[in-house]
């Protein structure tokens, strides 16, 4: 299987502990990327407790201090570097990680090609 890269956003879009970027990972599911302690992390936008999306407004994943990701539905707190729930109803569970990295001023999602790429799908519409 081939590895493909999908550009999520420009690197400067992700400010430390600031607004994240949502992006599609399938027809029915979104992922998100945030920057914490200088590192970009990506996760599936789904709380392990109830399956709801985390952000309370589009891209708003951090709680007030900017130290933890927070689930808008039940207030569970997640370590941004590991995705592990540190407080709330899903304590010990984790967000599903996505392979994101910063390359030449861009944030990219890496995935295995299992079908048409997102770009090919857009071209066929």
Domain spans, the chain: 3-123
Within 13 Å and on the Cβ side, how many CA atoms surround 46?
Answer: 14
Helix (H) or strand (E) holding 115: none
Going by pLDDT thresholds of 50, 70 and 90, the confidence category of residue 122 is very low
Is 115 a residue whose pLDDT tops 80?
Answer: no
Residues in the chain: 125
Q: Is 36 helix (H, G, I), strand (E, B) or coil?
A: strand
Q: CATH homologous superfamily of domain 3-123?
A: Rieske [2Fe-2S] iron-sulphur domain (2.102.10.10)
Give residue-wise pLDDT tens across range 27-50: 999 999 999 999 999 999 999 998
Q: State in Å, rounded, how far the first CA of the chain is from the last one.
A: 25
Phi, psi at residue 123, to the nearest 5°? -65, -30
DSSP 48-99: TTT---S-SSTT--B-TTSSSEE-TTT--EE-TTT-BEEESTTTT-BPPEEE
What pLDDT does residue 4 have?
A: 84
Task: Please give the Cα distance from 98 to 43 (Å, whole number).
Answer: 5
**What is the reported pLDDT for 56?**
87
pLDDT of residue 120: 46
Distance CA 107, CA 100 (A): 7
Q: Of residues 110 and 115, which shows the higher confidence score?
A: 110
**pLDDT tens-digit map of 51-71:** 999 998 999 999 999 999 999
What pTM, to 2 d.p., does this model score?
0.85
Give pLDDT tens digits for 77-101: 999 999 999 999 999 899 999 999 9
């Amino acid at each position: 299987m081939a590895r493909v890269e999908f550009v999520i956003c420009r690197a400067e879009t992700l400010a430390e502990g600031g607004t994240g970027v949502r992006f599609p990972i399938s027809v029915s599911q979104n992922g998100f990327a945030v920057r914490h302690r200088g590192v970009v992390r990506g996760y599936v936008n789904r709380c392990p407790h109830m399956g709801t999306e985390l952000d309370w407004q589009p891209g708003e994943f951090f709680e007030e201090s900017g130290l933890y990701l927070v689930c808008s539905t039940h207030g569970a707190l997640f370590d941004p570097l590991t995705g592990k729930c540190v407080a709330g109803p899903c304590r010990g569970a984790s967000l599903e990680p996505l392979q994101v990295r910063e390359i030449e001023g861009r944030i990219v999602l890496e995935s295995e090609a299992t079908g048409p790429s997102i770009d090919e799908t857009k071209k066929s519409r």
